[in-house]
Structure 1
Amino acid sequence: MDALARLPPLRETISAHGLDARKQLGQHFLLDLNLTRRIARSAAPLHDGTTIEVGPGPGGLTRALLMEGAARVVAIEVDRRAIAALADLQQAADGRLDIIEADALAIDVARLGPPPRRIVANLPYNVSTPLLLHWLHAADALADMVLMFQKEVVDRLVARPRSKAYGRLSVIAQHVCTVRPLFDVAPSAFVPRPKVTSSVVRLTPLPADRRLADLTPLERVTAAAFGQRRKMLRGSLSSLFEDPTSLLQRLGLSPTARAEELSVSDFMRLAAEVS
């Protein structure tokens, strides 16, 4: 802990390594240690298993995770400049920090360390949704996820039927996880300052017997239904089912309903019919 406290301020680390945030990488750095430690505490307990961080950048959240007692942190970073910037932090972590230079979308999280595995990350804006979907497919390997997104993404994750934000991401996330929004983070907390508010959310996978082992059928149904969300279901689902009207009636669903009117369990029943 003393070695971590003696590290130079993050702004010095950024300057020393030319680690300016790059738009093409969706980077916005969090430098306020009070805030990063609040995020880390939201992911507790950290004292066992493996904590996985994606996009550590200069290491603000990484420091916080280690300070809050993470037994082992695996940081995945695609930006080579950040790998060099994390070297001093890795040394101060005394064996508790591993750094992998890779695209997180290509990583099997089940191979990153012993369970319980949790993901804690301030996600790059440009790949946040693909990353989440990737991890929802790997829910069996995860105990928890504490993630920061743009607030509009969190609004979609927690949205209920018949609301404007309710869509494909809402259905898939709520089928796989209990989704709990935690707190908002103002644009002023980031360097550079984004144009939007961010939010931290906790996603805890449901027991395996309460969710699909393979999410592909659910993805196909929600893609068809919400891909043409203003269409009635009898029309939007015609690419998946030979006679969607009869199928919907058999399931007790209205063929003239639209996608946003269906519950997560309704979509589950439709997914069970996908061949």
Structure 2
Amino acid sequence: MNPTTVAVKAGFRRGRIELIQTLTNGMDLFAQFFWPVATMVAAFFMRHGTFQGTGVGLGSLALPSLLGMIVAITGMAGVAQGLAMDREDGTLLRAKATPNGMLGYLIGKVVAVSGITLIQVALILVFGLTAIGGLHLDSVGAWTTLIGMLILGLLACLPLGAVLGSVFDSPRSVGFVTLPIMGLVAISGIFYPISGLPGWLQAIAHVFPIYWLGLGMRSALLPDSAAAVELSHSWRHLETVAVLGAWAVLGFLLAPMVLRRMARRESGAAVAARRERAMSRA
């Protein structure tokens, strides 16, 4: 059998095992589902509000945006955190020493993180449809847009997570990445329409994928009348696909380079040094 095929199959098996381990470990479950549950609670308390007299409910407006936020944060932070942890405990070094091991490792990480992301999205979606309302997922077009945004969002965010995980060699260092990400969430129209923010903040939000993921999810789950609260009173599908596609291309260009550079620097001495630093902090 082709060695690459063997590595791909091993990667999918690895991803399935990691996903099962996450779903059967209490601490991992808490870490993965704390923020999705917190966002659902926030959307629930917003369900009776409306945006500036438009009649569009704040809860139903925020919930699709939350789906976009979850895809972006879990996609980026999940891969970055996993890479940093596996560098510290030597898992990455063992993968490097195995023929095509890095390919299998990366496929496994993508499968595991994508699986967790899709479970989180399904949980929030079911909650929104039953407890908040105002969502319209009753046509083939809506489902097509939703699935397309999920795929494009993962393609845009997973490689960026690999780039971030390659830069930091400790999971504690990766934790600092969440601060600017949460700052971007605050200005990306997730909890309140971006049209209510100053123009310079809108310009910053337009550069990054979180705003566009939220917009794409809103276009899939809300009626066309809800586009009235958007910046150009339209869903801007072409711009959404273009920006997310650009981030996906950028990520797939950068990720292999930084991952190869990271793999070359991995050694037993480097792993031992990281363990020693971790033990000294403990």
Taking structure 2 as the reference length, what is the TM-score of the superposition?
0.26
| Structure-1-length-normalised TM-score | 0.27
The structure where helix makes up a greater share of residues is 2
Task: Point out which structure has higher relative CO (alpha carbons under 8 A, 6+ apart).
Answer: 2
Structure with greater strand percent: 1
